[in-house]
Amino acid sequence: MSTRFTIARLGSQGDGIASAEGGEVFIPFTLPGETVTAARQKDRATLMSVLEASPLRVDPACRHFTECGGCALQHYQAEAYRQWKREKVVQALKAKGIACDIAELVPCAPHSRRRVTFSARRTEAGMLLGFVRALSSEIIPIEECPISHPAIVSALDRLRALADLVCAMPRAFHMTVTVTASGLDIAVHEAGKLGDHQRRIASNFVMAEGLARLSVDGEIIVEPKKPVVQFGPVAVAVPPGAFLQATEAAEQAMAGLVGQHLSRARKVADLFAGCGSFALRLGAKSEVHAVEGEAAALAALDRAYRFGTGLKRVTSERRDLFRRPLTFKELNAFDGLVFDPPRAGAEDQSKQIARSDVPLVAAVSCNPVTLARDLRILVDGGYALKSVTPIDQFLWSAHVEAVALLEKPKRRR
């Protein structure tokens, strides 16, 4: 049975929110001011029809929109969408009592996402390859994807065929596809153990189709060409399943902000350094100490430095910064610092930074809520927040990145 609702505002995940008897109701694919009918299930509802559309409603870019679970806001006019994303950062900082100039959102172009994770499963009708419907385990097979790099979209048939070759169990598994300078890097997870025959067939397919690498659960099955990405002037051979920023343009925007802020620093710490997207760029002007918990990522960073040219000294240290953050005494050896933690943020590390004398700090985050918490710690520790720049690299989703730049006056000794 459908009920009539009026949408008051958008929630943090991009769903429309309507007031109703018994509390608020979240209705995906609706916009503020719209009158809709929807089938309610407790605090959520499935959109049935739009009776009165918002003037900001636009035609979605993809035939799979509302089904595949990948995008939440293709129906939102571009400028309004960008303002909504920027406001997520504004409100997160406001909730922690932080006042600061928030720059305009750095936008994300379509067809630019270079790293995509598909779900796959073998069925009686054939191999499914696509994205999972929101709040469901159902895989929606896709034929197009306007957020993804054209190299990925044009390879969908080949990826589906490869998924069929490596599938060794009936349940769903994942396939992460990354665009590199050498070709597509395919990392398969939880598809089952490959037999010798499967390995040979899959390897022959990868080589015949010009793919760069196939790995299964971290093991390289075949690597015709080492997958290489460029971090500024430095080429990095990334390990299987390595973390990369989702779009190259967003990575460059972040690196530009961080690099400019730390340009005066002679010695820089890069915490949660990954494969070196910041460290290897900063190394052109500064000595850098890169700290990362993943051994494979750190090895790729160190190898790239050793074979690179034009860099100052770049050292590396494997360390779990959640369990053992750098202490304020260790940090005092540096006059610049960047940290880019996972979504959980870096609360304990921020407490040590707040106690330190590091004059220049850049905080990079994919979660405005944990960023605001960490910035509150730094501001309470004497840092002045100079700017915050929101960056969109997950187009039409609720996710937003941000780069915050801070300074601390030198203490008189």
Binding-site residues for S-adenosyl-L-methionine: 245, 272, 292, 340
Centroid of chain to Cα 373: 19
Strands 401-407 and 384-391, by their bridges, are: antiparallel
Question: Are the C-beta atoms of residues 7 and 15 closer than 8 Å to each other?
Answer: no
**If you search the block for the tokens 């989702």, which residue do you land on?**
246
Provide the terminal-to-terminal Cα distance of the chain, rounded to the nearest Å: 72
Question: Are the C-beta atoms of residues 350 and 326 closer than 8 Å to each other?
Answer: no
Query: Residue ranges for the binding site?
Result: 245, 272, 292, 340
Please state, in angstroms and rounded to a whole number, the distance separating the CA atoms of residues 132 and 137.
6
**If you search the block for the tokens 């969408």, which residue do you land on?**
81
Query: Left, alpha or beta for 192 (phi > 0: left; psi -120 to 50: alpha)?
Result: left
Q: How many C-alpha atoms does 125 have within 13 Å on its Cβ side?
A: 3
Kindly write down the DSSP assignment for every residue of 311-344, as one continuous string: ---EEEEE--TTTSPPPHHHHTT-SEEEE---TT
The count of residues in the chain is 413
Please, what's the b/e burial string for 264-282 (b: 16 or more CB within 10 A of its CB; e: otherwise)?
A: ebebbbbbbbbbbbbbbbb
Query: Left, alpha or beta for 29 (phi > 0: left; psi -120 to 50: alpha)?
Result: left
Question: Are the C-beta atoms of residues 251 and 239 closer than 8 Å to each other?
Answer: no
Structure tokens at 100: 């600061």
Structure tokens at 242: 């390595």
Q: Helix or strand or coil: residue 170?
A: coil
Q: For residue 249, which phi and psi values (nearest 5 degrees)?
A: -65, -40
Give yes or no: 366 in active site: yes
* Extended strands (E) in 238-383: 267-271, 287-292, 314-318, 336-339, 360-365
Q: Of 62, 71, 167, 366, which residue is the catalytic one?
A: 366
* Cα–Cα nearest to 65, from 412, 395, 402, 410: 395
Question: Are the C-beta atoms of residues 86 and 100 closer than 8 Å to each other?
Answer: no
Active site residues: 366
